[in-house]
Amino acid sequence: MTNGFIIKCIESVVKTILNAEDEIESLDRAIGDGDHYINIKRGSIAVQSTESELATLAPDQAFKKIGMTIMTSVGGASGPLFASFFLALAKEVSGESNLQQFSKGFTSGVESIMHRGKSKLGDKTMLDVLIPVSEKLESLANEGCEIQKLIKEIDLVAMAGVMSTKDMMPSKGRSAGLAERAIGHIDPGAKTCQIIISTVCKELEKIK
């Protein structure tokens, strides 16, 4: 993993997030607080603005910088959760990190979100994407799975995770107050995570 690849992923994620504005906003209007997209957009652009500094940093310090940037620029519920993910990830990676180390860092990041958000699988949150992805990533990394197969598997798991939220009863956030009325709607935070993961998968596919 290089900081050049990290920067390329940031650029692609920002572009994808901007293109997904209507989709994410419509999901958030249905069952969210109405500020999810603007916060994600603000954080994405803030991270992109640090690219010149990220280019000089080792991967662990780059992820720490990303986390701190999100922490100071994103409001609402999303900011602290995404920030905690990257700060936990930063503690597990280094300039020589292999896939197993990254998967361990990803899992640590997800566990940090679980702890901070007091949420778990099945609560109709971003974790319904992130937990299955972290489990699959760690399993495939430990098996020594071929990278192109791993990318496809992770992308499929992320999509299955976001679609699973459609039939869930929420227990966290504003959507919890909607109870049964939230059933039939995809969770906006889960959708955002799926979009980010799928975008990074596409960038990984380009590496030969």
**72-121 confidence digits (pLDDT tens):** 998 777 889 999 999 999 999 876 668 888 999 999 999 999 999 888 99
Domain that holds residue 108: 3-205
- What phi-psi label fits residue 98: left (phi over 0), alpha (psi between -120 and 50 degrees) or beta? beta
pLDDT at 153: 96
Q: What is the CATH number of the domain that holds 57?
A: 1.25.40.340
Share of the chain above pLDDT 90, in %: 65
Q: Phi then psi for 164, rounded to 5 degrees? A: -65, -25
Specify the DSSP element, H or E, that contains 3: helix 3-19
Sequence-distant (≥ 6) Cβ neighbours of residue 7 within 8 angstroms: 51, 54, 55
Structural domains counted in the chain: 1
- pTM of the predicted model over 0.85: yes
User: What mean pLDDT value characterizes the chain?
Assistant: 89
Share of the chain above pLDDT 70, in %: 91
What amino acid is encoded at 121 in this protein?
Answer: L
Residue 180 pLDDT level (bands cut at 50, 70, 90): low
pLDDT in tens, 187-208: 999 999 999 999 999 999 887 5
Is the separation of the CB atoms in 155 and 198 below 8 Å?
A: yes
pLDDT at 181: 58
Distance separating alpha carbons of residues 132 and 19, to the nearest angstrom: 25
pLDDT in tens, 34-49: 788 999 999 999 999 9
End-to-end CA separation in angstroms for the chain: 13
